[in-house]
Amino acid sequence: MDVKRADVLDLDKIVPLFDAYRMFYQQKSDKDAALAFLKERLEKQESVVFFALEGTQAAGFTQLYKTFSSVSLEPFYILNDLYVAPEFRKKGVGEALLNRAKTFCMEQNGKGLALETAVDNPAQKLYERLGWEKDTDFFHYFWKNNWA
């Protein structure tokens, strides 16, 4: 397995995975919108995408967004998206992507990586095995703009 940092030339490999990821979260398939979204993120260097290849087939991806902590005065990354195609699950793809994200964060001198997941997501065991700690000190809130 090879884990590679994506650029716009890799969009043909990533877009089907990104579209499947969105459908997993009950969004309608829209490969054109997925392409436009990822292309803009990569061209504007607003996110970092890593993808795993098994031979020539894209097996999974993760997308990171850089942000900052005002308290610690340090940058950190939000591991916003992680998806492994069903036929590649339980084969180490998710672990390889998570480890590549950790290495990237260290290379960038980031404070760390943050992720959130559903309370019933079985991947929690993998996150914890790889060193992520469940936050029991803070609640997370989200304000939804109903006008958008």
Segment 7-43, tens digit of pLDDT: 999 999 999 999 999 999 999 999 999 999 999 999 9
pLDDT of residue 64 exceeding 90, the answer is yes
Q: Can you give the pLDDT at residue 54?
A: 95
State the average pLDDT over residues 59-81.
97
Q: Can you give the pLDDT at residue 38?
A: 98
Cβ density class 83-121: b for 16+ within 10 Å, e for less: bbbeebeeeebbebbbebbbebbeeeebbbbbbeeeeee
CATH number of 2-129: 3.40.630.30
Q: Can you give the pLDDT at residue 22?
A: 96
Other C-beta atoms lying within 10 Å of the C-beta of residue 11: 17
pLDDT digits (tens, 9 = 90+) for 75-128: 999 999 999 999 999 999 999 999 999 999 999 999 999 999 888 888 889 999
Q: Can you give the pLDDT at residue 26?
A: 92
Three-point CA angle 93, 7, 81, nearest 5°:
45
Alpha helices per DSSP H over the chain? 11-24, 31-43, 93-107, 124-129
Cβ density class 27-48: b for 16+ within 10 Å, e for less: eeeeeeebbeebeebbeeeebb
Q: How confident is the model at residue 145 (pLDDT cuts 50, 70, 90)?
A: very high
Please provide the average confidence, as pLDDT, over all residues in the chain: 95
Q: Can you give the pLDDT at residue 118?
A: 84
Q: Can you give the pLDDT at residue 120?
A: 86
Going across the sheet that includes 74-84, the strands are: 2-5, 48-54, 57-69, 74-84, 113-114
Q: CB under 8 Å to 67, separation ≥6 — which residues?
A: 75, 76, 77, 78
Q: Can you give the pLDDT at residue 121?
A: 84
Q: Can you give the pLDDT at residue 79?
A: 97
For residue 90, is it left (φ>0), alpha (ψ between -120 and 50) or beta?
Answer: left
Q: Per-domain residue ranges for the chain?
A: 2-129
Q: Can you give the pLDDT at residue 123?
A: 87
Phi and psi at 113, nearest 5°, equal -125, 135
